[in-house]
Amino acid sequence: MSAEARGADSEACLEMLATCCEAKRLERARTLAAKVGFQVADAELVIAAVANYNVVLDIKARRIQHGCRDFQGQAAERRLCKHVAAAILALGADACRTIATELAEGVAAASAGEVAPWSFEVITRFTPGRG
């Protein structure tokens, strides 16, 4: 894939994310994305460490679990804080575009029920399922 094509993918992803993440947060997310560490990153489940927070993207169940103070407010409006946006960005263009599109369309089509919307779950504490 050419750098140009990757750029176009990133643009598409950012455009989608912009529908569910406010511009300043998205800008911060782009900076944070370079520092995201993945504990799990497969097709069904993503567990990421972003700054001092965990972000869980349960892709199979279409659920976001996260617990920063900003997310507690944003989740009620189905919008993303910078940590969640950063984790999605860091997944790479393909996964990012898929998730961002679902989030964007979930916002738009939630009442119509055409797209099962992602749920936003505020967690105050995350315990990884290890042992």
Q: Give the footprint of Zn ion on this chain (CB under 5 A).
A: 68, 71, 81, 83
Q: Give whichever of 40 and 51 is closer to Zn ion, judged by the CB atom.
A: 51
Q: Give whichever of 81 and 96 is closer to Zn ion, judged by the CB atom.
A: 81
Measured CA to CA, the distance from residue 119 to residue 75 in angstroms comes to 9
Q: Quick one: CA torsion of 6, 53, 101, 115, rounded to 10 degrees?
A: 160
| Residue 6 beta carbon to Zn ion: minimum distance, rounded to whole angstroms | 26
| Residue 126 beta carbon to Zn ion: minimum distance, rounded to whole angstroms | 12
Q: Quick one: CA torsion of 7, 30, 122, 75, rounded to 10 degrees?
A: -70
| Residue 129 beta carbon to Zn ion: minimum distance, rounded to whole angstroms | 21
Q: Give whichever of 23 and 43 is closer to Zn ion, judged by the CB atom.
A: 23
Task: Yes or no: say if 70 and 14 are a contact pair by the CB < 8 Å rule.
Answer: no
Taken as a whole, the chain contains a residue count of: 131
